[in-house]
Amino acid sequence: MSTTSPEEVVKRVRTAGLVLPRASYPGQRWAPRTEAEGHLLREALRLDQIRRLLLDEIGRLRQDHPTRPRAQVLADMAREAERLKECPLSPTLLNIVTAAAADESARATARRLHLSYETVKSHRHRAMSRLGVHSMEDAVALCTAAGWVTPREITGGGAS
């Protein structure tokens, strides 16, 4: 199974567009004959406009955030894996500690992660136990000091 690169997808979307059916007679423009054809034409024009807006947005995002070379992305991923290798917490528990670091309540974390409130409380206690601390504040401080939770993750900037 072959994978398609994002550049190939964008190229296809850029060259795609609305193509109207051929008219009955050469030299005539196609026009809808029924209300259903008129509705389909309006929807097609609306979707083509959305396609153009998406392409404009892709162009804007590429200017704001140039693509990093694949080697740099892989190196960053390797650094991130190395940073998390020593962490005694699972990704879920680390996510719970990160939420606490962002001053998110256990109830808000439960809603965001689609978990029960009791499950989040249990995860918090398990994280504190694995880290050998007695409070969530200490767990946050330890994870931040060790680099397992970064300020960028706390503020919502994603993984560093």
pLDDT in tens, 6-31: 778 888 888 887 787 888 788 888 88
**pLDDT at residue 123 greater than cutoff 90:** yes
Token pair 């029924």 is at which residue? 34
- Which domains does the chain show, CATH number per domain? 1-17+31-67 (no CATH), 72-154 (1.10.10.10)
Query: How sure is the predictor about 1, in pLDDT bands with cuts at 50, 70 and 90?
Result: low
Alpha-carbon dihedral 102, 107, 108, 109, rounded to 10 degrees:
60
Look at residue 19 in the predicted model and tell me its pLDDT: 80
Buried-exposed string 59-85: b where 16+ CB fall within 10 A, e elsewhere: eeeeeeeeeeeeeeeeeeeeeeeeeee
Q: What is the pTM of this model?
A: 0.49
Query: What is the rounded CA–CA span in Å between residue 91 and residue 112?
Result: 16
Does 126 have pLDDT greater than 80?
A: yes
3-state helix, strand, coil in the chain (%, to 5): 65, 0, 35
31 vs 68 pLDDT, higher one:
31
Residue 147 DSSP SS3:
coil
135 has a pLDDT exceeding 50 = yes
Distance CA 62, CA 66 (A): 5
| In the predicted structure, residue 160 carries a pLDDT above the cut 70 | no
φ, ψ at 19 (rounded to 5°): -120, 120
Whether the per-residue pLDDT at 158 is higher than 70: the answer is no
Residue 159, pLDDT > 50, answer no
No. of H helices and E strands in the chain? 8, 0
Residue found under tokens 């200490």: 138
Report which of 104, 103, 14 is spatially closest to residue 54, judged by C-alpha positions: 14
The type of residue at 12 is R
